[in-house]
C-alpha cells in the first residue's frame, strides 16, 4: 500500500472519536498474526535473543524474564516458556492480545514440526517436545481458550506467563534484583526517548546483578516495510512538519533514534553494553550517500550509523 494512504488512514483513526475501536477491529480482522510465517519470524527472534543471553552467562531454565511491549502476539513469552523460564512477566500499556492471536501463536508452535529446530540448541529435545505437547493440549482445551472472555485473558499461568496489560514497564512493581532477562523486540523504536530512559532505569533496578537486558530494535522507516518503493531511511528526507503529521500519533509513533542514540541511552540508564549486533543496510547507505539527510538535526549525522538496522543490544548493570 502506498505509504501516504496508510499514514493518512492511521492518522485519521488516531484523531477520530471511537477510532481506537475501529483500529482494534481492523487489526483483529486483517492483522499479520494470521500469517504463520510472521509468527515464526518472531519465535526465531526470541530464540536469537535467548541464545545471546546464554552466551553471556544467563541460564534459561528457571529464569524470570520480563518483556517490554507484548504487542498482539505473545511469541516472545511463549518462546521463553519453551526455553524453561520459570516465569515470564510480559508488560504492555495496551491489552492487545486476544483469543485469536493467542491461539495463532500456540498453533504455529505446535503445527510445524520444523519449529523444534528453532530451540534445538537451547533446550534438550525431550523437554522441548513435552512442553510443545502441553501447548498443543491447552490449545485444544475449549474451556481455557474459547469461553474465557478476552478481558479476562490476563495471565496464561499454565505457561508460567503473567500478562500485565495495561502495565507500564517504566514502573513494573517487580522486586529489585529479581529478573534474569529484560527483553523486547520491535518496541524500542516506538517509545519516546525520555520514556525509554525511564524503562531502562527500571530495567537496571529489577535486573539481578548477573541479569541481562537483551533488546532488538528496528530503526528503519516502518512505512517503507509495506511500500517497497520507499527507502528504509526515507523519513530522513522529510520535513519536520511531515514527521509531526505522520510519525507522531499513537499508531505510527517512531522515535527516529539510531544505533548511537540507543547506546547513549543504555549508558545514561547505568547499563553497560556487553554485546551489539547489527546489519549494515546497503540500500539505506546508498540512499543516504545520494540524498544526504535533510531532516533537521540529522544533516551532520554519520550516514553509516544511520544505515544500521536489526539492532541487538546485550547489556548488564554497571557495577
Confirm or reject binding of residue 49 to ligand SAM (CB under 6 A): no
Q: What is the 3-state secondary structure (H, E, C) of 140-161?
A: CCHHHHHHCCHHHCCEEHHHCE
Q: Where are the beta strands (DSSP E) in 186-270?
A: 207-217
Contact 76, 42 (CB under 8 A): yes
Among the listed ranges 153-161, 191-199, 269-277, 295-303, the one in contact with ligand SAM (CB under 6 A) is: 191-199
Confirm or reject binding of residue 257 to ligand SAM (CB under 6 A): no
Asked if the bond preceding 166 is cis, omega within 30° of 0, the reply is: yes
Report the residue number, 14 or 285, with the smaller CB distance to ligand SAM: 14
Among 101, 187, 220, 255, binds ligand SAM (CB under 6 A): 187
Among 63, 106, 191, 207, binds ligand SAM (CB under 6 A): 191
CA distance 131 to 144: 17
Number of other residues whose CB lies within 10 A of the CB of residue 124 = 12
**# chain residues binding ligand SAM, by CB under 6 A:** 21
Among the listed ranges 89-97, 100-108, 138-146, 147-155, the one in contact with ligand SAM (CB under 6 A) is: 89-97
Among the listed ranges 5-13, 88-96, 275-283, 292-300, the one in contact with ligand SAM (CB under 6 A) is: 88-96
Strand pairing partners for 309?
A: 279
Strand pairing partners for 67?
A: 90, 183
Among the listed ranges 98-106, 129-137, 189-197, 309-317, the one in contact with ligand SAM (CB under 6 A) is: 189-197
Strand pairing partners for 90?
A: 67, 163
Among the listed ranges 66-74, 106-114, 148-156, 224-232, the one in contact with ligand SAM (CB under 6 A) is: 66-74
Report the residue number, 191 or 213, with the smaller CB distance to ligand SAM: 191
CA distance 147 to 130: 25
Confirm or reject binding of residue 93 to ligand SAM (CB under 6 A): yes
CA distance 48 to 36: 18
Among 3, 80, 91, 313, binds ligand SAM (CB under 6 A): 91
Report the residue number, 91 or 119, with the smaller CB distance to ligand SAM: 91
Q: How many CA atoms lie within 13 A of 26 on its CB side?
A: 11
Among 169, 174, 265, 288, binds ligand SAM (CB under 6 A): 169
Confirm or reject binding of residue 94 to ligand SAM (CB under 6 A): yes
Alpha carbon dihedral 109, 115, 116, 120, in 10-degree steps, equals: -120
Among the listed ranges 8-16, 77-85, 187-195, 274-282, the one in contact with ligand SAM (CB under 6 A) is: 187-195
Instruction: Kindly state the cell numbers that stand for 211.
Output: 541479569
Residue 77: C-alpha distances to residues 48, 72, 171, 251 (Å): 14, 12, 19, 23
Q: How many CA atoms lie within 13 A of 236 on its CB side?
A: 27
Among 110, 185, 230, 307, binds ligand SAM (CB under 6 A): 185
Among the listed residues 195, 190, 188, the one whose alpha carbon sits nearest the alpha carbon of residue 170? 195
Confirm or reject binding of residue 46 to ligand SAM (CB under 6 A): no
Among 100, 136, 150, 195, binds ligand SAM (CB under 6 A): 195
Among 64, 170, 204, 308, binds ligand SAM (CB under 6 A): 170
Supply the minimum distance, in Å, between the C-beta of residue 104 and ligand SAM.
12
Contact 311, 216 (CB under 8 A): yes
Report the residue number, 73 or 306, with the smaller CB distance to ligand SAM: 73
Residues that bind ligand SAM in the complex, under the rule CB under 6 A: 42, 68-69, 71, 73, 91-94, 96, 168-170, 184-187, 190-191, 195, 199
Amino acid at each position: 500500500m502506498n505509504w501516504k494512504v496508510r499514514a493518512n488512514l492511521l492518522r485519521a483513526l488516531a484523531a477520530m472519536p471511537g477510532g481506537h475501536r475501529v483500529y482494534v477491529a481492523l487489526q483483529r480482522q486483517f492483522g499479520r498474526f494470521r500469517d504463520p510465517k510472521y509468527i515464526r519470524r518472531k519465535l526465531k527472534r526470541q530464540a536469537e535473543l535467548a541464545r545471546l543471553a546464554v552466551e553471556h552467562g544467563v541460564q534459561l531454565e528457571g529464569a524470570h524474564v520480563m518483556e517490554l511491549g507484548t504487542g498482539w502476539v505473545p511469541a516472545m513469552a511463549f518462546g521463553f516458556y519453551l526455553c524453561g523460564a520459570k516465569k515470564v512477566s510480559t508488560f504492555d500499556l495496551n491489552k492487545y492480545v486476544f483469543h485469536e492471536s493467542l491461539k495463532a501463536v500456540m498453533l504455529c508452535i505446535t503445527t510445524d514440526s520444523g519449529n523444534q529446530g528453532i530451540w534445538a540448541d537451547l533446550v534438550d529435545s525431550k523437554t522441548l517436545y513435552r512442553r510443545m505437547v502441553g501447548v498443543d493440549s491447552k490449545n485444544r482445551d475449549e474451556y481455557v481458550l474459547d469461553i474465557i472472555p478476552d478481558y479476562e485473558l490476563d495471565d496464561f499461568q499454565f505457561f508460567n506467563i503473567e500478562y500485565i496489560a495495561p502495565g507500564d514497564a517504566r514502573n513494573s512493581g517487580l522486586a529489585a534484583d529479581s529478573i534474569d532477562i529484560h527483553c523486547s523486540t520491535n518496541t524500542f523504536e516506538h517509545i519516546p526517548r525520555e520514556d525509554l530512559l525511564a524503562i531502562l532505569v527500571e530495567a537496571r533496578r529489577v535486573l539481578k546483578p548477573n541479569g541481562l537486558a537483551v533488546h532488538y530494535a528496528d530503526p528503519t522507516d516502518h512505512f517503507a516495510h509495506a511500500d517497497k518503493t520507499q527507502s528504509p531511511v526515507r523519513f530522513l528526507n522529510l520535513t519536520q512538519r511531515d514527521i509531526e503529521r505522520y510519525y507522531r500519533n499513537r499508531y505510527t509513533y517512531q522515535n527516529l533514534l539510531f544505533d548511537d542514540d540507543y547506546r547513549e541511552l543504555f549508558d545514561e540508564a547505568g547499563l553497560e553494553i556487553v554485546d551489539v549486533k547489527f546489519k549494515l543496510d546497503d540500500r539505506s547507505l546508498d540512499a543516504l550517500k545520494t540524498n544526504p539527510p535533510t531532516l533537521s538535526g540529522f544533516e551532520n549525522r554519520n550516514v553509516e550509523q544511520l544505515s544500521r538496522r536489526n539492532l541487538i543490544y546485550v547489556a548488564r548493570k554497571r557495577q
